Structure 1
Amino acid sequence: MILAFVLGALTACTQSPTGRSQVLLFSENDMQQLGEQSFTQLKEQERISTDRGLNRYVQCVTSQLTATLPGANQWEVVLFDSEQINAFALPGGNIGVYTGLLKVANSQDQLAAVIGHEIAHVLARHSNERVSRTQLANIGLTAADAALGQSGVRASAMAALGLGVQVGYLLPYGREQEAEADKLGLQLMAQAGFDPEQAIALWRNMAAAESGNQPPELLSTHPAHGTRIQGLSDLLPEARTLYMQARAQGKQPACDR
């Protein structure tokens, strides 16, 4: 049994877009189904914004970002009417944005920084990685695939997708995944013609909005705002090059609220 566990884990090893080692136990189809089912549940539970202007604005920013991605996959974008300062993307091409975020993301470029970061989590298969880690810890490798259909395991899988409000607890992305999403998201927004320097302005806004509400970095799986800002600053030279190339190619997003 131990041998099967080890061999199975080794065969499931792969690499993220930045070359980081990952263990992914589930197929893309499994994750897409989980993402779509979770998104459907969210749309039934959350209030959806009917503000046409804001919906058009969020859709505009998102479409500019997804247009840079390979393939012809369609991404569904829903604007939820909530004071939460949040957004997410799920496997299967589903993106949720909360109206509260628009009070902190003050421009199209800052909104692109958030949505690009969330899309990057999907591109790097971070959800699969989190669900896989959960199953390795709870039930072992050999039963993981079959267990995804069980209600209790599905609840923990939804939590691993970041949908903790629905299941009562949250499994956040780890620091390495957050740093990876920062890097990929910054590249994505720059390639779409959004100003990557506005990602830093966004996180300064986030720091001001969440002042006093974030735990010390050592007590959190997420980087502190200062650490994130420094990391983004280090990535700016490469992102600026991508941005200038995109602008030269005529990519000049003009999404008005």
Structure 2
Amino acid sequence: MKRLLLAIMLFLAVVACKTNPFTGKKTLNFYPNSQIFPMAFAQYDQFLNENKVVEGTSEAKMITNVGQRISSAAERWLDANGYPGYLKDYKWEYNLVNDETVNAWCMPGGKIVFYTGIMPICQDETGVAVVMGHEVAHALADHGAQRMSAGTLQQIGAVAGNVAIQDPQKRNMFNQAYGLGTTIGGMLPFSRSHETEADRIGIQIMAIAGYNPDEAADLWRRMKAKGGQAPPEFLSTHPSTDTRIKNLEAWAPLAKQEATKFGVTSFK
């Protein structure tokens, strides 16, 4: 049984690779769009039914308009770089939900939500584009499916350990050590890498959409000024705010260079 589980883990890790078109890197992903997108779409619809969606306001319209510009820019980049049809199964949707939480998120397949609580941090259309670029990037890079894939491997490893270890006390020690080790040493760094990747892809496609990538670092300065106690970076799912600001400052000139390839030389 132990050998079978380990063989399954190895097989999944080897065969379940997909190339990220924006980075050229192989990613762990054994959930095809045909499987994960319908689940995500159903969960998204359920969320909208259970929460207060803001409709018809200037902010709600801005969320939709910016989302459409960002996703169109992403499609232009993909078409120009040898990935025509990459987005054929995506069903983009952008909604503003009445909630004081300072957050926005994206589900696989392009289902995006902004909470009203993040709008004062965004301040304007370009600020919304910073956040939207980041969320669209999560969808483009299949981060949701990758997290599910990593979680599945983590679970298989736990089952393998429990099958192999017969002594109850040793099994309990293994579970504690395995849970802590795979979370801090595996899942959290994996999540932080996704956030960093989404920042980098997002700033690029917002620039192609005509938004000033210099504003990305400014948004995170506003986020930092808002305050709040954050855990140490190694215990967090996200990079620290200072790390993000530094990265975005370095990537902004590169994003502008990429935008010029699409005829974009001035920015909002």
TM-score (norm 2): 0.75
Find the structure with the greater CA-based Rg.
2
Question: Would you say 1:218 and 2:222 are equivalent positions?
Answer: no
Partner SS for 1:67: helix
Aligned-residue Cα RMSD (Å) equals 2.3
Q: Mapping of 1:88-237 within 5 angstroms?
A: 88-139=105-156, 174-209=191-226, 211-237=227-253
- Using the alignment, how far apart are the partners of 2:257 and 2:12 within structure 1? 41
Q: Tell me: CA distance 1:106–1:121, structure 2 relative to 1, closer, same or farther (3 Å).
A: same
1:5 Cα deviation after fit: 3.3
The aligned residue for residue 34 of structure 2 is 29
1:251 Cα deviation after fit: 8.1
Q: 1:42 aligns with which of 44, 47, 61?
A: 47
Q: Tell me: CA distance 1:195–1:176, structure 2 relative to 1, closer, same or farther (3 Å).
A: same
Note if contact 1:89-1:121 (Cα within 8 Å) is conserved in structure 2: yes
- Using the alignment, how far apart are the partners of 2:223 and 2:130 within structure 1? 12
Partner SS for 1:84: coil
Residue identity opposite 2:51 in structure 1: E
1:173 Cα deviation after fit: 6.5
Partner SS for 2:253: helix
- Using the alignment, how far apart are the partners of 1:189 and 1:133 within structure 2? 29
Q: Tell me: CA distance 1:115–1:231, structure 2 relative to 1, closer, same or farther (3 Å).
A: same
Deviates more, 1:34-43 or 1:131-140: 131-140
Question: Would you say 1:240 and 2:244 are equivalent positions?
Answer: no
Q: Tell me: CA distance 1:250–1:238, structure 2 relative to 1, closer, same or farther (3 Å).
A: closer
- Using the alignment, how far apart are the partners of 1:226 and 1:249 within structure 2? 29
The aligned residue for residue 6 of structure 1 is 10
1:157-203 alpha-carbon deviations (Å, 9 max, x no partner) = xxxxxxxxxxxxxx897111111111100001000000000001110
- Using the alignment, how far apart are the partners of 2:258 and 2:34 within structure 1? 32
Q: Tell me: CA distance 1:132–1:66, structure 2 relative to 1, closer, same or farther (3 Å).
A: same
Note if contact 2:104-2:131 (Cα within 8 Å) is conserved in structure 1: yes
1:139 Cα deviation after fit: 4.0
- Using the alignment, how far apart are the partners of 1:58 and 1:91 within structure 2? 18
Note if contact 1:192-1:251 (Cα within 8 Å) is conserved in structure 2: no
1:63-110 alpha-carbon deviations (Å, 9 max, x no partner) = 111112335654111110111111112122211111111111012111
Q: Tell me: CA distance 1:250–1:233, structure 2 relative to 1, closer, same or farther (3 Å).
A: closer
Deviates more, 1:17-26 or 1:68-77: 68-77
Residue identity opposite 2:57 in structure 1: R
Unaligned runs of 5+ in 2: 76-84, 158-187
Q: Tell me: CA distance 1:173–1:115, structure 2 relative to 1, closer, same or farther (3 Å).
A: farther
Unaligned runs of 5+ in 1: 141-170
1:138-167 alpha-carbon deviations (Å, 9 max, x no partner) = 247xxxxxxxxxxxxxxxxxxxxxxxxxxx
Residue identity opposite 1:90 in structure 2: M
Q: Tell me: CA distance 1:131–1:93, structure 2 relative to 1, closer, same or farther (3 Å).
A: same
Number of residue pairs matched? 221
